[in-house]
Amino acid sequence: MNPMPLPDRPEIYFTVAALLLAIGIFGLLRRRTLIGMLISGELIFSAASLNLMAFNRFRAPDPAVGQIFVLFIMGLAAAEIAIALSIIIAVYRNYRSVKTRELSELNG
């Protein structure tokens, strides 16, 4: 039996957060549509939030600070999603496509 129960070990949370970040960056590099890249960006946001929450639980003197920080991250992620999706819809109206390979022309 482990001396410390599994949910009380900080390394596990750090490892999962690093894994989420790596998966998000892999998706960001591999995806070829704008919405896929947006979803990968959300994964990276989640990785940052989990990392902050783990530090907040185990290493911070005031456990309320990290939670407030993560709440702000969630609010900003929601705002970012709204803006990015409206841009994607506007792009789709202009190009009839959201594939990153075809969006290669700049025109005012």
Interactions with another protein, residue window 9-38 (CB under 8 A):
10-27, 29-36, 38
Is 103 a residue that touches another protein (CB under 8 A)?
A: no
Number of residues that bind another protein (CB under 8 A): 78
CB of 102 to another protein, least distance (A): 9
Which secondary-structure segment (H or E) carries 4? none
Among 93, 105, 106, 108, binds another protein (CB under 8 A): 93
Among 42, 105, 106, 107, binds another protein (CB under 8 A): 42
Complex with another protein: residue 7 or 108, whichever CB lies closer: 7
**What's the CA gap between 79 and 69, in Å, rounded?**
15
**What's the CA gap between 4 and 61, in Å, rounded?**
21
The structure tokens 């979803």 sit at: 39
**What's the CA gap between 75 and 87, in Å, rounded?**
19
